[in-house]
Amino acid sequence: MDQVKAAAEALRQIAATKKHKTDVEDSIHQFASTITLLELSSLSPNTFERLSSLLRARLLPLYYAFFELTLQYTNAILTVIFEEKITNTVFAGDDFIRSSWEMIQTSLISGVLDYLEAESTYEHRGTVGNALYPILCRFYLQEAPFKPTQTTGSLLSTVYQLLSETVISHPNNQRKLRDPGILGGKAIGRTLSQIKDFLAAEALLELFANLLPSLNGPTGRGKRTAYIKETFNPAFFTCSEEIITLLENITTIDWSVTAIKIMDTLATSDILFPQPFEVSRCIMQSKRINNVDRIYIDNYAFLANLDENGNLETIQIPYMTINSVALTSSSNNNTSVKVEVLSLPLVGGRPSAEISSTDNIGLSWEINTADVERFTSSLRKRGLGEKMKKSARKLSKAITQVELDFDAADGKVFSTSAQV
């Protein structure tokens, strides 16, 4: 804790040199509470929530006032949490406490992203690289004490998003993260080969794309090829040759298209990697969810990306909320999948609504019958075999015009009309 206290004291001293806005003064005054909470041997769920708020919203004014010093404070807290809190919970086997501390780390890193969303200058991104690259890469990408499979996907994806954001149009930061001493392609490949979380894998592939050397210049092609081969090393991927060929012959500037092809290739090579399924007629409580044509099965949830008016959000159905999964023969070579859950899906990581634990919500979609065996095998591999049941009942063919609103906890509404 000494490094946290030292970083907090450095901020107090510089803040004391002149009068600042009220929000800056308030944030400085919260240091004592933050340090006290970090020193506690155990925290309640409510206390974790309070600490999460202190380390995201309350730090934002300090980033505006003293960016570099506040990043040093953030660095110190991330280090203490990883090396002291999380290490202890892993050895104690306490998954709840571990995930709670990872939620705190996610809040800290999200706070930096909040700031960069408004102030993403070349200088600021360089400062983030100097302050946070060494610890973020060591904890979440290098050969850390714990595998990525032992870390929550939300934390990993947030870390990778921050790294991606800070290398865009920043050659110096790109050089740093291509350096094996800090990260390098080999570490990205090794981590990707171990990740079983869809959002984390998607974010890590985005980082890889942003680090690809330019093709410009006489040595551009050679450098890019070397980096691709370093990342997709056959020591990590049985499908490395296929992915390397794909990346050497990209035919579109839209990275999302290439990323999907890579994800599909990885899924074919390893059923534990997030599995994609082309879907149609995605319905919740008799209401059609438009713009969903693909659902993934990862180690935590069913997931789908929802594009509403240019805003991309992720819908998740966590396995812990599932009562049952039933497959029914449909028509046109399709099979209906019906899932009964106790709560509405998550939208953008937040519950879309709260319902009584005695209520069941029905969701359904159709997959190609040729994919049924892979679908059921994917669920069994993730411990959902007991929740699957056979059903002979067919879906209704009724068609009606409906409105579907996803109302997230932050008040943001996603609305779409469709025929069902």
User: What is residue 381's three-state secondary structure?
Assistant: helix
Whole-number pLDDT of residue 285: 72
Instruction: Please check whether residue 194 is in contact with residue 147, taking contact to mean a CB–CB distance below 8 angstroms.
Output: yes
Domains and CATH numbers, the chain: 1-269 (1.25.10), 275-387 (2.30.29.30)
Q: Please state, in angstroms and rounded to a whole number, the distance separating the CA atoms of residues 164 and 199.
A: 14
Residue 349 zone, left/alpha/beta (φ > 0; ψ -120 to 50; rest): left
Whole-number pLDDT of residue 90: 63
The angle subtended at Cα 374 by Cα 373 and Cα 378, nearest 5°, is 120
Model confidence over 186-244: pLDDT tens digits?
A: 999 999 999 999 999 999 999 999 999 988 888 889 999 999 999 999 999 999 999 99
Residues 6+ apart with CB under 8 A from 153: 195, 197, 198, 199, 200, 298, 299, 300
Model confidence over 114-170: pLDDT tens digits?
A: 999 999 899 999 999 999 999 999 999 977 666 777 789 999 999 999 999 999 999
Q: Please state, in angstroms and rounded to a whole number, the distance separating the CA atoms of residues 195 and 203.
A: 11
The pTM of the full predicted model, rounded to 2 decimals, is: 0.87
